[in-house]
Amino acid sequence: MPGLEIVTIGLPEVRVEGELVRFRRRHSTALLAFLALTSRPHSRDELTALLGGDLPDASARKVLRNALADLNAHGIG
């Protein structure tokens, strides 16, 4: 995405067109950084396991769903 900057050293920081983006959830920043750094497609199951850790499946899916909604709300995705 043009105009997207992700800083992963120190405190994570995301900028879109130079404007700092504040996500509602830390999982959103983690998901974006992971996808950008790996630069390959991932299955929902893989992302759910990554973000949900040892949460029950339904809770882990909710974490992923909320992170994706957060990214979409900022025009990322």
Task: For residue 67, give the nearest of 38, 20, 33 by alpha carbon.
Answer: 33
The residue that leads in pLDDT, 77 or 51, is: 51
pLDDT tens digit string along 13-63?
999 999 999 998 889 999 999 999 998 999 999 999 999 989 999 999 999
Element (H, E) at 46: helix 44-52
Task: For residue 75, give the nearest of 27, 3, 26 by alpha carbon.
Answer: 3
CA distances from 4 to 49, 56, 62, 63 (A): 26, 33, 26, 23
pLDDT of res. 39: 86
What predicted TM-score, i.e. pTM, was given to this entire model? 0.86
The residue that leads in pLDDT, 10 or 1, is: 10
